[in-house]
Chains A and B, each alone.
Chain A
Amino acid sequence: MAFKGYDQLNDMQLDVLRELGNIGAGNAATSLSSMLNRPVSITVPTVRILNIKGVTTELGGPENLIIGLLLTLEGDVTGMIMFLMQQDFAKMILQGLLGTDIEDVTNLDAMGHSALLEISNIMAASYVNAISQMTNLRINVSVPDISVDMAGAILSVPAIYFANISDEIIFIEDRFESNNESGISHVLLIPEVESLEKILSNLGIDL
């Protein structure tokens, strides 16, 4: 094996992953605009490699209430993709999709849940298609699942999953803007090490 974890990636390899994150975020903004039927723009996303503590801090601390959406990747690339929405972002999406103002995200009805699940499907496809098209790798995305809870509790799941892969993780911050409203969503990309090797080598990057 060429490397053991994300912590051993060099600057050039990291730049490539950042670029994949940028393209995915651009695709996601386009998909969101067509879902919400109004322009959605995205400020330049930031892509960083962080450990779980860093991710928790960026999400507003362990007890901050957020919406976590988890999907698994299968096919040539295996791993996970996770969306972590701040409450304001989820409210903006639900207002746009369903036309209802949500006061309390811990008390979503079935319609609210399925709307957010659908958004995570579309956003996951935006990221995954970016990787797929550039690498010629076939990637299938599982059905999503949702949890509205403390950031630390939600993050325990990817933390457990990648404990055997790496101490660090690809963390993307997207700030979406629409009709003078803005909301922040984060994405965790967690390809397994062999999959990460495939992605980089199919892009012609030396390992």
Chain B
Amino acid sequence: MSKNIVVGISELAVAQVPDILVTYALGSCVGICLYDRVARVGGLSHILLPSSKASVRNMDKLKFADTAIPELVRQMEMSGADRNRLVAKIAGGAKMFAAISTSSIVNIGQRNVAATREVLEELRIPIVGEDVGADYGRTMYFYTEDGRVRIHSASRGEWIW
């Protein structure tokens, strides 16, 4: 029996086959799924902001792309994953309110995606699938049995990749 493990905002979790990692309603946040196909270990991180360096309130490292993703890799290695085998799928980074131009949130979805790509590149983890940008929310289901991702949206239905 597989169970769903829910990952909230600024949280991460690691799961073994056959469990399913779920993060609900990504808006401008980004969900990062890492997968080791051999060990069949999966990890999911739900980040809120691109960089801990730009923040004065940066106590919580799971909030930021630059600190959460390395932590996810570390925890996956403790569960038997090999970092050289990891591949990534990412989703989210939407622009929910296009007309709002407050500097701290303008293009924040795009900046979250850019920071995520940068961190994954530094860690030499290839991105094998993505569904980012646009203007709608996404719920992300990540199946540790084969690494597939299912996206559920409010008005555009569901798709698997």
Take A70-B97, A161-B105 as given contacts and tell me if A156 and B28 are in contact as well, using a CB distance cutoff of 8 Å.
Answer: yes
Any A CB within 8 A of the CB of B102: yes
Tell me whether B97 and A143 are in contact (CB under 8 A).
no
Contact size range, A: 35 or more
- The 7 A-B pairs with the shortest beta carbon distances in the complex, nearest first, are A153-B137, A152-B25, A156-B27, A153-B27, A62-B24, A145-B99, A150-B25
Bound form: Cα–Cα A104–B17 in Å? 39
How many contacts between A and B, using CB within 8 angstroms?
A: 111
B18-39 interface with A by 8 A CB criterion:
24-29
Tell me whether B100 and A142 are in contact (CB under 8 A).
yes
Listed A/B pairs (9) with beta-carbon separation below 8 Å: A53-B8, A63-B152, A70-B97, A144-B99, A145-B97, A149-B96, A149-B136, A153-B136, A161-B105
Any A CB within 8 A of the CB of B145: no
Q: A156-B28, A165-B57 are in contact. List 13 more A-B contacts (CB 8 A).
A: A63-B25, A70-B97, A142-B100, A143-B99, A149-B136, A149-B155, A155-B25, A155-B27, A157-B28, A157-B100, A160-B108, A163-B57, A164-B56
Tell me whether B135 and A160 are in contact (CB under 8 A).
no
- Cβ contacts under 8 Å, A152 to chain B: 9, 24-27, 137
Any A CB within 8 A of the CB of B94: yes
Bound form: Cα–Cα A19–B101 in Å? 30
Tell me whether B25 and A161 are in contact (CB under 8 A).
no
- Cβ contacts under 8 Å, B98 to chain A: 145
Bound form: Cα–Cα A62–B31 in Å? 15
Bitwise, A25-67 to B at CB < 8 A (1) or not (0) is 0000000000000000000000000001100000001110100
B116-161 interface with A by 8 A CB criterion:
135-139, 152, 154-155
Tell me whether B24 and A147 are in contact (CB under 8 A).
no
Any A CB within 8 A of the CB of B104: yes
Tell me whether B154 and A160 are in contact (CB under 8 A).
no
Take A52-B9, A80-B102, A159-B9 as given contacts and tell me if A154 and B27 are in contact as well, using a CB distance cutoff of 8 Å.
Answer: yes
Tell me whether A72 and B96 are in contact (CB under 8 A).
no
Choose from B9, B97, B99, B139 the contact partner of A150 (Cβ within 8 Å): B139
Which B-chain residue is minimally distant from A5 (CB atoms)?
A: B57
Any A CB within 8 A of the CB of B63: yes
Tell me whether A163 and B138 are in contact (CB under 8 A).
no
Tell me whether A160 and B49 are in contact (CB under 8 A).
yes
Tell me whether B105 and A157 are in contact (CB under 8 A).
yes
Which A-chain residue is minimally distant from B29 (CB atoms)?
A: A156
Tell me whether B102 and A161 are in contact (CB under 8 A).
yes
Any A CB within 8 A of the CB of B55: yes
Choose from A107, A142, A153, A160 the contact partner of B48 (Cβ within 8 Å): A160
